[in-house]
Structure 1
Amino acid sequence: MDRRFKVKAVSMLLLVSLISSCSREEPAVSSAVSTLSAETILELPAETTHDFVELPSDMSQQVPVVPVGDNGFTAPEPGFEITRPDRELYHYDMDLTFDPESNTVGGHVVFTFYNDSEDSWDKLCLRDHSAMYTEPDIVGVEGAEGNNAAFTVIENITDMREETSLEYIRDEDVSVIWVTLEEPLKPCERMTLEYDFTATIPTVPDRDGVYEGVYNVTYYYPILSEYKDGEWAHSPYFLLGDCNYSEVSDYDVRITAPSDYILVTTGTEVSREEEGDLTTYTYYAPFVRDFVFCASQNFVVEEGDWEDVHINVVYSSETSHITDEYVESTLLTAQESLEAFSDMLGRYPYEELDVIISPIFAGGMEYPNLVIVSAPTMDPDLLDPWGPKLITVHEIGHQWFFGIVGSDCYNEPWLDESLTSYSEWLFCTYYADIYGEYDTDPYADMDITNEYYSSSFPLNRPYYEFEVSTYSADVYLRGRLVLRRIEEIIGRDEFTAVLREYVRRNAFSNADEEDFFEVLYDCCGTDNEELNAIIDMAFDL
């Protein structure tokens, strides 16, 4: 055989294999490629020896399913095990320094990822949401005016495929960072991006900021955004939801901090090493969407467990109105939430859950393995104990709807907040014998089909199409009531089975409304007139 023909033949076989892999189908010619000799492979030109990833054809959770109803629909049983994704994940290796004297955090990042789309990427989109605190009117946080916010300093961006230095520009939306690749990243091709950064922690009582000696360090490192439908997601910062839209990754993180600070983070602590007045902590956080931490010299940690999950309830000793009763109640709520949601939605798949009672001016905020609950809501002069209890339940519910099953919180907020608000109702039903169902839900008897609520719909629209003044009522409350109405129509056991199957099919990926309704219609069919009526009323499909 002519040598040039032999090389072309091998190249074509490899190309077919890569295309098959990137389309997430079983590679039709992989066996043919594997039979080629090493000598033949070495004859390939250098430019074809890129580092590629092979993705599985089915990325759903491979767990037993059982029949639900009589139309052939199957779903996992209650309490099914949610396990690590069966594919290669992105990986962040971060060596950080937390400096409370200068209110900064920074360091070196080694980020390994791959192109999981069918398009070549000639640029990357990173998000620097912390930069938005330079524009207090957009952030909309009380006390943000005059804070010390600054753009994150990003340096030494390097594409390690050829050790090429890269440049970046900020968009008009300063949280959007575009990094141009000198060599496009092909479908399924892997690369490592290295960079250094220094982020300023804003002096605001918010989800990303420091206030009353408590640091919430959440939007601090440039994180890769999500690529979907031919473009990078770069929606604006918004106040009422999580702004990060990212892929699940593994994190290996080292943080050097003053030894008199207590750090609470995503993931689990692996080791610590003291040197003088500093301590270097090593953490491992597998298959999560982000890595965040909270820190304070005044933290008090109340520990507990739910089965083999360790729980930390953390608060500042300087917050005088946080009583032992509230702390014990919060720990109990965390245990109850893990029990209820693990049973109804699938078992919590991580080793730890942290609940931080922090002086933020919001109800709460969710992050992987860590939730923040507002200390002001626990002021006994403002709310009865049931208020902060449901806030804690809600934020822990996000570990399933945001953490395990991701979504585009800006363009499809109902998949994030309506489902999680509905999980509050599931919590009430699970503990009906203890707390009651309807007694704990002041909106239980609201008729969502009343014409008065028509302006709330369609529910499936982007954040910017809602009125800011009614967004919370529309998405959190009325979205929850729509889902409760669906539950009433098809049955609670059937609807929780739908949610488990939705989790099974989409765990550790980013789902959209098509994924949700596909599962719902697989369960109920498309000819249920009562169900169709509520869906037609509440959604624009």
Structure 2
Amino acid sequence: MKRSNAKIISTTFIILLSIFCFFKSTPVKADSLTAKYSMDIELNGAKKTLAGKENVSVHNSSGADLKELVFHLYPDLYNKRETMPFSYTNTKNVPLTEEEKGDISIEKVLINGEDTKFTEDNEILKINLEKNLKKNDNVNVSIQFSLKIPKGTSRLSYFNDVYSLADWYPVLSIYDLKENRWDETKFYPIGESNYSDVSEYDINIKVPKDFVVVSTGKEKEISSTDNKKVINLTAKNARDFIIMISPYFKCISKEIDGIKVNSYYLSTDDKSLVDIAQSVLDASVNAMKFFSQQFGKYPYDEFDIVESYYEGGAMEYPELIQMPKYVTSIEIQTPSTKRYIDAKPSIIQGAIHELCHQWWYVTVGNNEYKEPFLDESFATFFTAYYFEKCEGQYSPNAVLRSLRYSFSKLAEINPKILNLPCAGSSVDKFGNDKTSYVQAIYVRAPLILEDLRKMVGQDSFLKIMQTYFKEYKFKNSSIEGFLNIIEKQAGSKIRDYIGDEIYSGEYKAENLKPTDEEINQIKHETLKEKIKASEQANGSVLGSLLLRVENGEKAIIVKPSSLTKEEEAFVNSKLKSYFGNSYNKLSIQSDNSVTENELKNSNIVLIGNPWNNKIFSLMANNIPLSINKTRVFAQSFSENSDSVSGIFSAKNPKNDQNIMLAIFWTKDVSTDFYFDTYANPESIMIESQFILSIDNKRIETGKF
């Protein structure tokens, strides 16, 4: 791919820019914000570095006099592989190359325009204050830094000229008055560890002229030269600040209730990938409207969805979500086979999960390291809640299937999930066990919210969430704060019950297990979804006609007019086995009465063989299986026998937009004929186009 020819910043320019940044610092009037950030930064595309001058106006709202200021330096965690955020490509035994290493270096710090001492160690910048910063007083901190951007596909990285700048700058820590200390928690490899107050940002970034800049807040070009441009980035009430940069971004947009939603995608000639970007945009707009109605209005003017090379799934930031590279299909590997499914549904589901974080983490904040339940478990539950309300309870992403059923099945397979660290655990309680973290926080803990909903009812549940959102908007909450809201709205008994579930390491969600009826319907819906996915890859399969009927399409059973009672009973039993509750939706005709128009405009279930069913005979030359009294054969196989029975699926010869399912026999209707809809759905209903019984002894399945 084409790489930029960004100029290297000259020494003179750095010195002049440094002087400008440091001398423009002036005391500010106290207000409710803990910090206001202004920055001047420049991307060096050749060296993959960022030169920065950060000015922070700090208001001491901690409630204590402060002897020092503490900033997080999250880029330092990219110095070695074992401290990097978890990704699917991490190999801890393989050391990072120099290109893959990231680092931030603090070059100079001024307090109110005066040089000051500082230490930079272990992801923490500590700045000594010659005079204590009194309660409600203000101070200006100017930090000159340089950032080495690591090559890779993590949150802070560059790859193929797509730059992801997440957790990239010195960010003011939070002072804990109860513990009388600054938060110095290192970023943990599992989950997220962000914890900060909302702030105001005003950033000027210089980039190559052909680069597109997408960020938290709003972007506006303010100057340009022949090969460079400066973009001003501004945001209010932002918990942190993300910048995405690339010359390959293209954008499509929609507006919803005065909010501009942008879907940025990497330029491509593949229309199916552009279609994914459009589908993600459409789904996000719908979800934004839904969540705004359920909890409280999305509180910003813009929202960006950005495709990138990120390999951690997808990631949330204020006013922006980072998506992975879009693909059209996902490989599913099973012990017996490999198949591909449509990637779009899972991409959309991921986007909606990250959008949900705009309410639970971005607007209502929390300490992600100590209490991931409040953001990850909330976003997981309400994503499933969204699909339940918009697609029905049997949607694969809805609460019943994605949470209740998934947890009950997982508990059967691996009972240890019942004894994982509790929902109220901090991320370090999981060590380096990513699987346990996912099972505890994304699978088990969201069920606590479903339990709360069932206990108090839908209306009261939403009232709790709306009150919680309003109470902690642009603030940091805690589990204790959430429980307090529950108590105010539903009483102390409900609060205590939910509190016990959050802090119990043996939470089993027994009362949320799906009923037998729900389980049977889930299995049926799953079968239909797999049939549909297989059709996209293989064409019609044995389950295709069932799917058509259940989707409301017309189907006609065409029987020979000369069936014996034995044959009639066999045919009816097989059809009822295949169609289940949908059997009564079918029309039944004999080969003598069905019309040409009915055959053309319907899906067909053809019964018998070419010599006892005249419709079978008329279609014999246009179906993939040739049948006579001593031989059954297709292009890829041949069976010589006078006793073959079977079932196969093909396009309707009268109209290839419809499906034909044929149940046939060459000698007698055999009671030994094997066809059970649910006995082995993976190989029969989903993967196969035919099943044959030869001499009642041998079964063959496959594709034509």
TM over 0.5: yes
Contact 1:225 1:244 in 2 (8 A): no
Measure how far apart 1:170 and its partner are.
Answer: 2.7
Counterpart of 2:403 in structure 1 is 443
Which residue identity is paired with 2:311? Answer: F
Selected match of 1:90 from 21, 35, 47: 35
Confirm or deny: 8 A CA contact 1:457 1:537 kept in the other structure.
no
Query: What residue is the counterpart of 1:157 in the other structure?
Result: 109
Q: Distance in 2 between matches of 1:413 and 1:198?
A: 31
413 and 290 in structure 1: CA distance in 2 versus 1, 3 angstrom threshold: same
* Shift, 1:307, TM fit: 2.2
Which of the numbers 409, 428, 433 marks the counterpart of 1:464?
428
1:89-136 per-position Cα deviation (integer Å, ceiling 9, x unaligned): 521111111121111122211110111122211111111111111111
The equivalent residue for 1:137 is 82
Question: Which structure 2 residues correspond to residues 13-412 of structure 1 after superposition, within 5 A?
Answer: 53=30, 87-88=32-33, 90-139=35-84, 140-141=86-87, 142=89, 145-148=96-99, 149-160=101-112, 163-171=113-121, 174-228=122-176, 229=178, 230-317=180-267, 323-375=273-325, 379-381=329-331, 384=342, 385-412=344-371
Q: Which residue of 2 aligns with 1:454?
A: 418
Q: C-alpha separation between the residues in 2 aligned to 1:319 and 1:475?
A: 39
Distance 1:340 1:434, change over 3 A: farther
Distance change in 2, residues 1:522/1:457 (3 Å): farther
In the superposition, relative to structure 1, how do residues 363 and 278 fare at CA in structure 2: closer, same or farther (>3 Å)?
same
Cα deviation code 1:275-298 (max 9, x no counterpart):
121111112211101221111111
Give distance in 1, aligned partners of 2:437 and 2:33: 37
CA deviation after TM superposition for structure 1 residue 208, in Å: 0.8
Inter-partner Cα distance in structure 2 for 1:473 and 1:322? 33
Shift of 1:443: 3.2
Contact 1:312 1:355 in 2 (8 A): yes
5+ residue gaps, structure 2, are 1-26, 333-340, 506-704
- Aligned to 1:389, the other structure's residue is in SS state helix
CA distance in 1, matches of 2:184, 2:324: 28
The Cα shift of 1:376 comes to 5.7
| Shift, 1:430, TM fit | 3.2
Cα distance in 2 between the residues matched to 1:540 and 1:168: 43
Counterpart position of 1:71: none
The offset of 1:322, in angstroms, is 6.2
Q: Is the Cα contact below 8 Å between 1:322 and 1:375 reproduced in 2?
A: no
Aligned to 1:477: 443
Structure 2 Cα separation of the partners of residues 269 and 516 of structure 1: 35
> How much does 1:343 deviate?
0.8
* Distance (whole Å) between structure 1 residues aligned to residue 301 and residue 145 of structure 2: 29
1:446 positional shift: 5.3
Once the two structures are superposed, what CA deviation does each residue of 1:2-51 show, in whole Å capped at 9, x if it has no partner? xxxxxxxxxxxxxxxxxxxxxxxxxxxxxxxxxxxxxxxxxxxxxxxx98
Q: Structure 1 length as normaliser, TM-score?
A: 0.78
- Cα 1:522/1:197, change in 2 over 3 Å: same
Contact 2:28 2:57 in 1 (8 A): no
Equivalent-residue separation in structure 1 for 2:477 and 2:249 (angstroms):
36
Distance (Å, rounded) in 2 between the aligned partners of 1:133 and 1:321: 36
- The higher relative CO (CA closer than 8 Å, separation ≥ 6) is in 1
Deviations 1:410-429 (CA, angstroms, capped at 9, x unpaired): 01111111111112122113
Q: Distance in 2 between matches of 1:420 and 1:439?
A: 12
Deviation at 1:328, TM superposition (A): 1.4
| Matched AA of 2:367 | D
Superposed CA deviations along residues 309-352 of structure 1, whole A, max 9, x for unmatched, are 11111122269696122111100121012111111111011111
Distance in 2 separating the partners of 1:318 and 1:340: 31
Distance 2:125 2:269 in 1: 38
User: In structure 1, what is the Cα distance between the partners aligned to 2:60 and 2:461?
Assistant: 35
- How has the CA–CA distance of structure 1 residues 319 and 272 changed in structure 2, closer, same or farther, with 3 Å as cutoff? farther
Distance of 1:97 and 1:362 partners within structure 2: 27
Identity rate, percent: 22
Structure number with bigger Rg: 2
Could you say what secondary structure the match of 1:276 adopts?
coil
> What TM-score, normalized by structure 2, do the two folds share?
0.61
Tell me the alpha carbon deviations over residues 412-459 of structure 1, each in whole angstroms, 9 at most, x when there is no partner. Answer: 111111111112122113313698474983333356799764313421
Separation in structure 2 between the aligned mates of residue 418 and residue 231 of structure 1, nearest angstrom = 28
CA–CA distance in structure 1, aligned partners of residues 110 and 272 of structure 2: 47
Q: Distance in 1 between matches of 2:492 and 2:321?
A: 38
Q: 1:439 to 1:122 in 2, by over 3 A?
A: closer
SS at match of 2:403: coil
CA distance in 1, matches of 2:228, 2:248: 17
Q: Which range moved further: 499-508 or 230-239?
A: 230-239
Instruction: Identify which of 426, 429, 440 aligns with 2:385.
Output: 426
Checking the alignment, whether the CA contact within 8 Å between 1:264 and 1:294 is kept in structure 2 is: yes
Partner of 1:518: 484
Q: Which runs of 5+ in 1 are unaligned?
A: 1-49, 55-86
Q: Is the 8 A contact 1:218 1:293 kept in 2?
A: yes
SS at match of 2:299: coil
Q: Measured at CA, do residues 184 and 51 of structure 1 come closer, stay the same or move farther in structure 2, by a change above 3 Å? A: farther
Structure 1 counterpart of 2:469, from 493, 500, 503:
503
Kept in 2, the 8 Å contact 1:340–1:430? The answer is no
Total equivalences in the alignment: 454
